[in-house]
Amino acid sequence: MKDKPINVTDPLSGQEPDRGDSDADKQRQRRPLNIPALYGEEWTSFKGRPSRFFVFCLVLFFAALIVSHVYFQAHPEQAAKRVSEEIQKLSQKGFFGKTGAGLFLRVLLNNLRATLIVLAIGLIPYLFLSAIGPLLNGGLVGVFTAYLQHAGLSLAHAVWAGLAPHAVFEIPAMLYAASLGLELSQKMTRKMNPAEAAKSGPFVRLLLRAIRSWALIVVPLLAAAAAVEAFITPALLRL
């Protein structure tokens, strides 16, 4: 006859002690991936501190855009030089001459790398370097809008046809990645304080949560932006 397992209970609570890997934990591990539940958890998390970081990044982006546009509108030679430099960079990265799927992959990989960098620099405590992302992107958009005005091109057409269709996905993705980086930087700063370190949780858990949020929100938005830029924007610009 097989021996029955002995239930050891806590004499104070009358409950079984924590065995580390409980049956409930094992059941959660066996459950199929629940995408709606993951996004529900992400939304609940976002309504806390990350939403404030997102709003902050949004303000930074538009402030940089306005300041950049006003400055380069008053300095057309510098605007033309900056645009020329950006076009040269894109050419060196192989963006020109590609269409369809080739352009889609090039744009997607470039943007994924950029947002990962913005997220990763959030690991540096105290400096909150992820704020550089919204500032640089807003400033760059301001340069192009000022240049288009000086070039005598239709700013409205360039924005709604060349920028807006993919920017409605790309800009929120960039801002979300920056907000995740700022939140991560805040948590890393707290970990430098011995009194707060225990409350912030293990470093690996903080990093994995940030990467999960990046994968759930930023990656799909960037994929949509790249698809629009590769397959829809060229047709709109020909109108």
Q: Which two tokens stand for residue 25?
A: 């934990």
Per-residue burial over 171-198, b if 16 or more Cβ lie within 10 Å, else e, is bbbbbbbbbbbbbbbbbbbebeeeeeee
pTM for the predicted model, two decimal places: 0.81
Q: Which two tokens stand for residue 130?
A: 């992820």
Q: Are the C-beta atoms of residues 67 and 146 closer than 8 Å to each other?
A: no
Mean pLDDT by 10 residues, the chain (239 residues): 46 41 48 83 84 96 97 95 91 81 93 97 95 96 89 69 83 96 93 78 86 96 95 76
Per-residue burial over 38-59, b if 16 or more Cβ lie within 10 Å, else e, is eeeebeeebeeebeebbebbbe
Residue 141: closest CA among 81, 62, 84, 75:
62
Q: Are the C-beta atoms of residues 154 and 80 closer than 8 Å to each other?
A: no
**In a 10 Å sphere around its CB, with 0-12 CB exposed, 13-18 middle and 19+ buried, how is residue 89 labelled?**
exposed
Q: Are the C-beta atoms of residues 182 and 128 closer than 8 Å to each other?
A: yes
pLDDT of residue 17: 41
